[in-house]
Amino acid sequence: MVLEGDNPLKTKIPYILLTNGGGIDESERCRRLSKELSFEIKPTQYIQAHTILKTVVHKYTHTPVLVLGGLNDDIRKVAESYGFKHAYTTLDVKAWNPSVWPFYDLTPDERARAKPADFSTTPIQAVFVFHDPRNWALDVQVLCDIIQSGGIVGGPYKEPDVPVELIFCNPDLIWRSDFDRPRLGQGAFREAFQAVFRALTGRTYPYTQYGKPTAATYKFAEQVLRDRLTEIQGGPVSQMPQVYMIGDNPESDIAGANAAGWDSVLVQTGVYDPANGPPQHRPTHIVYDVEEAVRYAIDREIQRMSSWRRHDAPRLERSFSEK
C-alpha cells in the first residue's frame, strides 16, 4: 500500500506494471490482480508483452493474421479485443487440415473452439507471437509454411512480393516458474524457429522484437505512464518526473531501464540470484524485494527534494529578487 499513500509523502504515487508476461486480456489480468492485492489495478496501469500490439492494429484490422501462444483460443480472443478482426491460431489451421502436422491430435475442446477457415485461400499477412507457444512443433511448421509460401498454408514456396511480417512480443530466453531452475521462454521459441528456418532456407527471417528490454516497449511504457499522470492530474504533463524501474531480471528489466534513462532497482526475489555473481547490467541499486525497492525510491526522491530546497530554491529566490 506504499504507493497508494502509506508513505512519508502521504500521497498516491503514480505507477504502472510492465511485464513480459501475457496470455489474457489486460482487463481480466487486472481483475485477478486487484482481487489478490485487495485494491484496484486499472487496465491503463498494466502493460503486458503484447499490449503494444494495439499500436499496429490499424495496419491489419481487416486482413488475416496468425497469432501464436497461450492456451486454446485465448490469444485469438485477446487479438480480437485489440481490433484484429481476422485472427487465427495454428489450432485453427490444424482443424482445417489435420495433415498439416500429423504428430498431434486436437482435443475435443480444441476442435470445438477452432475458427473455421479455408487456409488454402486465406492469405496470412502477418504473424504475431503474443505469448509463449504451447506446441512448438506445430507452430514452427505452420510458421515456416506461411512465410515460405507468401501467406498461403500449403501453397507453393516462393519469394512473395510483400513478405509476411513477423513480430515477437517477448525476448526472454528463460523465465522463473515454480520449478527449481528457470524454464525456456518465448525467446527460446524464436531461436528454435530461426534455427529450423535457416536449415531450410540458408538464412534467418527478419522480425520485429517487442518486450523488455527493447527501446520500443520502454518508449510505449513511458507514454502509458504519461497518460496515467495526465489522468491523475487532470491535465497534460509538461515534464516527466524521475522514473524508477523495479525488476528481478537484469537482462530485461535493468538493461531496458538503463537504456531508457530511468533509475533501476534490482530485486533478489525472482530471476536474479546473487549467488551467481554480479548482474551483467548494473542497476542503480540492489535490494531484497519490491517493498524495499519502493521505499528506497521514495526516500531517494525525498532527499533530492530536500537538497533542492537547501541549495537551488534560495538561489532561485535571489534571482527573482534581483530582477
257-278 average pLDDT score: 94
Confidence of residue 319 (pLDDT cuts 50, 70, 90): very low
The answer, yes or no, to whether residue 116 has pLDDT greater than 60, is yes
Confidence of residue 180 (pLDDT cuts 50, 70, 90): confident
The answer, yes or no, to whether residue 181 has pLDDT greater than 60, is yes
The answer, yes or no, to whether residue 5 has pLDDT greater than 80, is no
Q: Cβ(236)–Cβ(269) under 8 Å? A: no
240-266 average pLDDT score: 95
pLDDT tens readout for residues 55-105: 999 999 999 999 999 999 999 999 999 999 999 999 999 999 999 999 999
DSSP state of 177: -
Q: Write phi, then psi, for 188 (nearest 5 degrees).
A: -70, -40
Confidence of residue 240 (pLDDT cuts 50, 70, 90): confident
Residue 285 and residue 296: Cα distance in Å, rounded? Answer: 9
Residue with cell 486482413: 63
- CATH 3.40.50.1000 domain span(s) along the chain: 51-209, 242-323
The answer, yes or no, to whether residue 30 has pLDDT greater than 50, is yes
Domain 51-209 has CATH 3.40.50.1000: yes
- For 242-323, CATH gives 3.40.50.1000
